[in-house]
Amino acid sequence: MSTYLNAYTLIEDIRRGVNEFSDAYVQGTDTTGIYSNAHLTRCLNRSQRYMYAILMNYIPGEFLTSTSLTGVNSVYTLPWDFGSLREFKDENGRKVFKSSISAIPTTGAVGSKRYYYRKGNTLVLNRSGITDTYTLYYFTKPRDLHHSQGGSNCAATALHMDTTDAKTIDDYYNGMTVENRTQDLTEAITDYTGSTKIAVVASTPADDDWYGLVPEIPEIFHHLIAPRAIMIAKAEHPVAPKPPNKDEIEMWRNEVRDALIAFGYDSDITPEDIWLGFGSGAGMGDTIPGQGYTIY
């Protein structure tokens, strides 16, 4: 089998970590356990998003991408995977600057096509009637992982994601890596149709092939996802046998630091640099001063 950690193997690791593992549990044919796959998948994706947020703080370039947007009466709709804006440029490659709503030109004024304001899931230029193609540079947001068997509509180049976890958004999985565990192959998804949940791949998936999506963060950080998901599951499940302990929290923190060093971020980085410089100034296991609760 591939050495990738994918959603299937991550759920296996999480179930081992919460001391409730069997192939039947992982594949959902036995649902008598304390933890459901749906709950553990949510823990998995929360963990991935947290890792993504840490890495965005230190290696944002790993998530930088660009796309061309065409205006519809000066309105530019952001792509579905938009996380945060890096830069917006006009058709001549010049920077388009952010402005406030109060800068919208009054009736009869022309305004400028090099100023924009954010409105919901769009960027709107201060000048009306613009249909030029602009370039958006942005940081992507993480896409949710899941594992399942293929559905009954699998065929040549078509993987039917037959699961309630598969998104109904067109192109949601485009470019993601999927591992077909049954056929022992790993490949990229080149297109996805949300209404049918059909992913286009190069192979010929069979009905009921088991597959798992591969995390999009750099592979050197993949092993950090399951341990944090385990801690989330232990901390939050109402009948979990025991909460995460201080040693496993500290071990996870040190592994994050070591992975960042190995990735080449900074050989002098310390745990304090990460956890006191990230987000609210506290990491997993830290009690917020004056608040009386602990972050997991």
**Can you give the length of the chain in residues?**
296
Distance from the Cα of residue 48 to its chain's centroid = 6
With CA atoms as reference, report the closest residue to 190 among 205, 206, 172, 207. 172
> Cβ(234)–Cβ(35) under 8 Å?
no
The 75-77 sheet, strands edge to edge = 75-77, 122-125, 115-119, 97-98
Q: Give the C-alpha separation, 126 to 117, whole Å.
A: 7
CB 156 within 8 A of CB 98: no
pTM of the model: 0.83
Between helix 7-17 and helix 225-236 the angle, nearest 10°, is: 50
Q: What is the pLDDT of residue 58?
A: 87
Handedness of CA 45, 51, 54, 55 (dihedral sign): negative
- E strand or H helix at 250: helix 246-263
Residue with tokens 């096509």: 113
Contact yes or no for 112/85 (Cβ under 8 A): no
> For 99-149, what is each residue's pLDDT tens digit?
887 777 766 678 899 999 999 999 999 999 999 999 999 999 999 999 999
Sequence spans of domains, the chain: 7-59+218-296, 62-140, 146-213
Is 244 within 8 Å of 231 (Cβ atoms)? Answer: yes
| Residue-by-residue pLDDT tens, the chain, 296 positions | 455 799 999 999 999 999 999 999 999 999 999 999 999 999 999 999 999 999 998 899 999 999 999 999 999 999 989 999 999 999 999 999 998 877 777 666 788 999 999 999 999 999 999 999 999 999 999 999 999 999 889 999 999 998 788 999 999 999 999 999 999 999 999 999 999 999 999 999 999 999 999 999 999 999 999 999 999 999 887 777 778 888 999 999 999 999 998 888 665 666 666 656 554 444 444 443 333 334 44
Cα 154 to Cα 147, 200, 207, 209, distances in angstroms: 16, 10, 5, 9
